[in-house]
């Protein structure tokens, strides 16, 4: 069972964006993702996160894009050792919304980058972290 399911995924392993995820700064991560130029700030991205996180190992966040034709959402934490947390690509009726739990090493800007209609938009908010969780 495990092997038959793994086969198509193994082929996908080659697509994992190593340069973007290994980058130690936001600029490098964005470059790795192919985000060129500036990302215009947008009020149509709703980024929900606690103002103050007790435990940086588990910070629940929600990102929703209200920008038409949203294709992808990326999440970055500026001050993490490797800032890029995740990249989500939506298709076939999936709404551009996600809730997940992330690690934050210290108090930092949390960023969401939205790709919509071939353009990039961003939103950023500060999350205070009491106890870092990136060990």
Partner 1 sequence: MNDTMKIRAQLKNDLTEIKVLMSHPMETGRRKNDFGDVEPAHFIQLVTATLNGKTVLEAQWGTGISKNPYLTFRLKGAKAGDKVAVKWLDNKGESGAIETAVTAA
Phi, psi of 128 (to 5 degrees): -80, 135
Report residue 28 CA to chain centroid gap: 14
Beta bridge partners of 45: 65
Give the residue, chosen from 37, 68, 81, 118, that forms a contact with partner 1 under the rule CB under 8 A: 81
Give the residue, chosen from 88, 106, 107, 124, that forms a contact with partner 1 under the rule CB under 8 A: 88
What is d(CA 54, CA 66) in angstroms, rounded to the nearest whole number?
29
CB 76 within 8 A of CB 61: no
Asked if 52 is part of the footprint of partner 1 (rule: CB under 8 A), the reply reads no
Asked if 67 is part of the footprint of partner 1 (rule: CB under 8 A), the reply reads no
Please identify, using beta-carbon distances, which residue of 38 and 95 lies nearer to partner 1: 95
CB 95 within 8 A of CB 51: no
User: Strand, coil or helix: what is 113?
Assistant: strand
Which range in 39-47, 76-84, 113-121, 123-131 contacts partner 1 by CB under 8 A? 76-84
Asked if 68 is part of the footprint of partner 1 (rule: CB under 8 A), the reply reads no
Binding site for partner 1 (CB under 8 A): 1-2, 5-6, 9-10, 12-13, 15-17, 21, 57-60, 75, 77, 80-82, 84-95, 97-103, 133-135
């Amino acid at each position: 069972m495990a092997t038959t399911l793994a086969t198509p995924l193994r082929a996908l392993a080659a697509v994992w964006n190593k340069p973007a995820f290994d980058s130690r700064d936001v600029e490098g991560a964005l470059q790795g993702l192919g985000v060129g130029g500036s990302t215009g700030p947008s009020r149509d991205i709703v980024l929900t996160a606690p103002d103050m996180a007790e435990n940086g190992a588990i910070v629940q966040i929600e990102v929703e894009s209200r920008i038409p034709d949203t294709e992808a959402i990326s999440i970055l934490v500026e001050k993490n050792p490797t800032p890029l947390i995740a990249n989500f690509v939506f298709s076939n009726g999936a709404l551009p919304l996600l809730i997940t739990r992330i690690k934050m090493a210290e108090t930092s800007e949390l960023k969401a980058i939205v790709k919509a209609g071939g353009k990039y938009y961003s939103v950023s908010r500060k999350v205070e972290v009491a106890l870092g969780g990136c060990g």
